Amino acid sequence: MRIGIFDSGLGGLIIAKAIRKAMPEYDYVYLGDTKRVPYGNRSHNAVFEFTKEAVDFLFKKENCAIVIVACNTASARALRRVQTEYLVYYNKTRRLMGDHERKILGVLIPAAEEAARFRRVGILGTSGTVSSGTFLKEIKKLNRKAKIFQNSAPMLVPLAEEGERSMAVPFLKKYLRPILNKNIEALVLGCTHYPFFKKEIGKILGKKIKVISQDEIVPIKLKDYFSSHPEIEKKLSKKGTAKILVTDITKNVQVLSKKWFGKQKPELVNI
């Protein structure tokens, strides 16, 4: 059985690459909904339906034992509902058939746990993630005294999908300015696309502000999860394979999938 990784587009490939680098022995399948990216301006119901469809596909068609929802908008707006409505019913059906239960994890909670270590935290995310208030709620659960300042950055996802770093700099400065005015100690990159601009963001922030990037946190947390849930880890096949599935193949998808997922060119399939 495989590890499935789902994102609204290609940003999750940055997470997938980091996870695979940390745990190369497992078999991976990545699903990017490139036909409907971005999710940030979608309704809650739409994001829920898209996420449920993706997870269901990865479970049933790709034999995944666990799916990482590597999309902060989906993690913020749909993950809990997918877990409590779809997954509960799915696992109940699997048990009746004598099959293995599946698991779904997100990327938002690990970042929130890291952010809760600081007193003044900035969140840069999509409109959907920011408006959901999920980062704020999760950080406050762990640190009531934390002061959290959010701003949405709607242009960054399409710029990342196009591989445009230099064009993003004016937008980054614009989006970060109101957060920097709050004297933050740490900044959460609240979208899996944003690590693509990590170097540019670091230059704007300076050395005193900690950048919390999910590609650095999620692999560690997933390793810990497997250590505490050996029943899941034992189901995973270990041939070191990887493939990328997308809902729409474009030239840009071909270039970025190769660039972001590592030197070994993975199989790229349109579904």
Catalytic residues: 71, 191
String of DSSP letters for the chain:
-EEEEEESSSTHHHHHHHHHHH-TTS-EEEEE-TTT---TTS-HHHHHHHHHHHHHHHHHTT-EEEEEE--HHHHHHTHHHIIIIIIHHHHHHHHHTTPPP-EEEESHHHHHHHHTTSSEEEEEE-HHHHHHTHHHHHHHHH-TT-EEEEEE-TTHHHHHHTT-SGGGHHHHHHHHHHHHTT--SEEEEESTTGGGGHHHHHHHH-TTSEEE-HHHHHHHHHHHHHHH-HHHHTT---S--EEEEESS--HHHHHHHHHHH-SSPPEEEE-
Query: Cβ atoms within 10 A of the Cβ of 170, count?
Result: 10
* SS3 letters across 49-79: HHHHHHHHHHHHCCCEEEEEECCHHHHHHCH
Supply 27's token pair.
């078999």
